[in-house]
Amino acid sequence: MSGRAIKKATANVSSVVRIIDSTDGTPETGVTSATGGLAFNYRREGAVAVAITALNDLSALTDAHTDGGILHIGDGYYRVDFQDAAFATGANGVLLTGTATGMVVIGTYHMLVDYDPYDTVRLGLTALPNAAADAAGGLPISDAGGLDLDTQLAATNEVTAARMGALTDWINGGRLDLILDIIAADVVNVDGSAIPTAAAIADAVWDEILTGATHNIATSAGRRLRQIQEAGGYSAGAIYIDTVNGTAGTTDFENGVDSNPVDSIADANTLAASIGISTFIIAPGSSITFAAAQNNQSFIGRGAWTLALGGQDIAGSFFANATVSGIASGTGTTQKFVDCLMNATSHIKGTHLLTSGIQAAQTLVEAGDHFWDRCHSAIAGTATPTLNWGTAIGNSNVNIRNYSGGIQFEAMGDTGTDTCSLEGRGQLVEGTCTGGTVAMRGLFTTSGITNLTLSDNARYDTLQVNAQADLAISDAALATAANLAIVAADLPNVFTKNVALADFPFQMIDSADNVSPKTGLTVTATRSLDGAAFGAAANAVSEVSTGWYKIDLAAGDLNGNTVALRFTASGALDTNITIVTQPT
C-alpha cells in the first residue's frame, strides 16, 4: 500500500503495515515480536533490502520511537518503527515490508522528498520567502497588499509612451524588428535541420525515458514523475505473472506490475530480489516450472494455473489455486497448498494440503509430520489415489483430517515407524505395505488389510451397521416371541361369554432358539374360567401351517368373564392367551 511522503533524512519515523492470514486473508491481530518467522526489512530505490535486526514490543501507540518497535493498531494494521537509515538522503523512495510464518505482510511504500510536507508556509523550499504574502520579506500582491501593482502598471505605461519615440531599434522597421522578422520567417536551424513544431517538442518531452540519473533533478517534473511511478504498480506488495499474455523484462517498477505482468518466473524472481518482494500473483491459465529455489514465498492464483515443482526447494512457501505436480526438495518447515489439484507430487516434511483434490500419487520424500485437511479424492469411479510413504525415509506421521473418498497406502512401514490418523469417510485400501499403524475415525470401509495395524474403535462402516441392525432385530424378535402370548392377550378381543368360537388361531415357537415358528406339534389345550383350575378344552388342536395352529372353542370353554387359554407341546414354548368376554 502507498504511505505518506516523507522528507529525506527525517529521524524517528514510524510507519504502518498490514498483516493478514495467508490462508483466508483475514486480519492477524495478535502479532508480536515473538511471532514465528516475523521479520521486517526496508528496500530503498536502487538498493537491496535491509533487515531490521532486533524487534521489540511497544507498550502503547504513544510510546517514543524505538528502532524495531512493533504494536497492533487495529484490524491487522501495525505500527513499526524503522531505523533512520531507511529515510536517509540518496533515494527517492523506500518500500517497507516483511514476512511471517503462515501470514502475508502487506508492505508500505513511502516517497522520499526534498520538501517538507508539513511546512505550511513554503514546504521547506528555500527558493520561496519564509514569510506570509504581502508581509515583510513576503511575496508582493496586487491591490489589497502594500505593493499596489496596478499603480506600478499605470506608471510603466506612462514611461513607455513618453519614451517610445526614442527606442528606434524597436519600432517597426528598426534593426531589432528586422532581425525578429527574419527569425520568424526561417524554418530551419543553423545546421540546416527543420525546426520542430510545438507538437513534436511536446511528444519528445513525454517520450523521454526516465532511467538512471536522467531527469532526476530535485523538485523537477521528471523527479515528480519518477515518484509517481515508483509509488504504484506492485499493488498488494506482489509481483504479477502472466505466462500467456505477459511481457518479458526486469526493469524495476516497469515490469511485473499489475498492469504489465512478466511472462516468466525467471523475470519475476529477478524483480523480487531487486525490490524485496516475496509474493507473486498468478494470472489464470498461466503455467510455471520452478528452476530455482523458491523459499518463504507466496504464489496466489487469481484463477486456475499450473505449477511444476521441478525438484526445487520450496520450504516455507504458500501456494493457492494451482494444479500441482513434480518433486519438492529442501528441508521442510511449513509449506501450504490451498484449494489445489494435486497430480503426482512428492512432499517434504511440514507440508499442508488444505481443501485440495488428490488426483494422483502423493509421495513422501522427507521423514516427519505431514498434514491433510478437508481434502478429497479427485478420481471418479472406483479407482483411488495413492499415498506412498517412501521406501527409504521412515518415521513419518501423516494427519489426514475430514477426508472424503478412497485412499490407497503404499510402502507404509517399509523403513522405521510410520503412523497415520485417518478421519472422515471413504475407503482405506492397503497396497504393498510392511507395517504401520492407522488410527481410523469416521465412516470408512477397508480393503486388503494385511500388514497394517488398525486402531478403529471410532470407525464404522456399512457391514458394522448391518451386523448391529441384525443383532437388534434378533433381540427384538426374541422378546416378541417369548412374550407373544402376553402381547396377544393384551389386545382387545371380542368374545361372547358362553358362546362357541370356531377356528381360533394361535402360534407355537420353537424352544430351541426362542424365535422360529414350530411345526408338526401335538398341542394340548387347557383353559381356566374366572381364575379356576385349568381343565382340558372340549376340542382337539389341529395344525394350519408354518407354526400356526387352531382350535374350535366350545361354549363351555368360554363360559366365564375371564378365560385363560394355555397351549403346550414338547419342543415348543408355552403359548398363553387371556380373554375378556362380553356378556350375551
pLDDT tens digits for 77-107?
A: 999 999 999 999 999 999 999 999 999 999 9
> Is 116 buried (19+), middle (13-18) or exposed (0-12) by CB count in 10 A?
middle
- Same domain? 188 vs 223: yes
Of 127-136, 181-190, 210-219, 413-422, give the range with the top mean pLDDT: 413-422
- Same domain? 193 vs 81: no
Name the 3-class secondary structure at 370. Answer: strand
Domain boundary, last residue among 58, 85, 113: 113
Write out pLDDT tens, residues 363-383. 999 999 999 999 999 999 989
Judged against a pLDDT cut of 60, whether residue 207 lies above it is answered with yes
Judged against a pLDDT cut of 50, whether residue 488 lies above it is answered with no
pLDDT on residue 397: 96
Write out pLDDT tens, residues 525-552. 999 999 999 999 999 999 999 999 999 9
Q: Which three cell numbers stand for residue 108?
A: 508500505
The answer to the question of residue 425 being in a domain is yes
The answer to the question of residue 109 being in a domain is yes
Higher-pLDDT residue of 473, 291: 291
Name the 3-class secondary structure at 31. Answer: coil
- Same domain? 305 vs 434: yes
| Alpha helices, H only, 12-88 | none
Judged against a pLDDT cut of 70, whether residue 148 lies above it is answered with no
Q: How far apart are CA 489 and CA 563, in angstroms?
A: 10
Domain boundary, last residue among 427, 460, 493: 460
What is the count of structural domains for the chain? 4
Closest by CA to 15, choosing from 60, 80, 72, is: 80
Q: Which range marks the domain in which residue 165 is found?
A: 149-227
| Alpha helices, H only, 265-353 | 265-275
Reported as half-sphere exposure (CB side, CA atoms, 13 A), residue 302 has a value of 14
Answer for the pair 410, 385: CB distance below 8 angstroms, yes or no.
no
Answer for the pair 558, 551: CB distance below 8 angstroms, yes or no.
no
Contacts of 42 (CB under 8 A, 6+ apart): 49, 50, 52, 82, 86, 94, 95, 96, 97, 276
pLDDT on residue 95: 95
- Same domain? 11 vs 95: yes
- pLDDT above 90 covers a percentage of the chain that reads 69
- Same domain? 288 vs 403: yes
Answer for the pair 246, 266: CB distance below 8 angstroms, yes or no.
no
Reported as half-sphere exposure (CB side, CA atoms, 13 A), residue 171 has a value of 8
Q: Quick one: CA dihedral 513, 514, 517, 521, positive or negative? A: positive
Contacts of 537 (CB under 8 A, 6+ apart): 525, 526, 527, 551, 553, 554, 557, 565
- Same domain? 394 vs 435: yes
Answer for the pair 328, 348: CB distance below 8 angstroms, yes or no.
yes
Average pLDDT of every residue of the chain: 88
Per the DSSP assignment, residues forming a β-bridge with 364 are 347
- Same domain? 76 vs 158: no
The answer to the question of residue 487 being in a domain is yes
Domain boundary, last residue among 89, 113, 137: 113
pLDDT on residue 31: 95
pLDDT on residue 479: 46
The answer to the question of residue 99 being in a domain is yes
Could you tell me the CATH number of the domain that includes residue 554?
2.60.40.10
Q: Quick one: CA dihedral 139, 142, 147, 150, positive or negative? A: positive
Taking 3-state DSSP, the helix, strand and coil percentages for the chain, each rounded to the nearest 5, stand at 15, 35, 45
Q: How far apart are CA 272 and CA 278, in angstroms?
A: 6
The answer to the question of residue 234 being in a domain is no
pLDDT on residue 215: 73
pLDDT on residue 159: 47
Judged against a pLDDT cut of 60, whether residue 323 lies above it is answered with yes
- pTM comes to 0.47
Write out pLDDT tens, residues 387-401. 999 987 889 999 999
- Same domain? 202 vs 344: no
- Same domain? 456 vs 338: yes
Number of other CB atoms surrounding residue 478 within 10 Å: 14
Write out pLDDT tens, residues 186-196. 666 667 677 78
Answer for the pair 86, 40: CB distance below 8 angstroms, yes or no.
no
Higher-pLDDT residue of 93, 218: 93
pLDDT on residue 167: 62
In the β-sheet with 14-21, what is the strand arrangement from edge to edge? 56-57, 69-74, 77-81, 14-21, 103-106
User: Model confidence at 491, in pLDDT bands (50, 70, 90)?
Assistant: very low
User: Model confidence at 6, in pLDDT bands (50, 70, 90)?
Assistant: very high
- Same domain? 516 vs 574: yes
The answer to the question of residue 262 being in a domain is no
pLDDT on residue 203: 83
Judged against a pLDDT cut of 80, whether residue 137 lies above it is answered with no
The span from the first CA to the last CA of the chain, in angstroms, equals 101
- pLDDT, mean of residues 264-278: 96
According to DSSP, residue 79 is labeled E
- Same domain? 386 vs 494: no
How far is residue 446 from each of residues 377, 384, 414, 468, measured CA to CA in Å?
Answer: 16, 12, 20, 18
The answer to the question of residue 267 being in a domain is no
- Same domain? 108 vs 195: no
Per the DSSP assignment, residues forming a β-bridge with 371 are 352, 399
Answer for the pair 239, 277: CB distance below 8 angstroms, yes or no.
yes
Q: How far apart are CA 208 and CA 216, in angstroms?
A: 12
Give kind and range of the element (H or E) at residue 46: none
Judged against a pLDDT cut of 80, whether residue 228 lies above it is answered with no
Q: Which three cell numbers stand for residue 94?
A: 523506500
The answer to the question of residue 32 being in a domain is yes
How many helices and strands, by DSSP H and E, does the chain display? Answer: 7, 35
- pLDDT, mean of residues 194-199: 81
Judged against a pLDDT cut of 90, whether residue 304 lies above it is answered with yes
Q: How far apart are CA 311 and CA 346, in angstroms?
A: 9
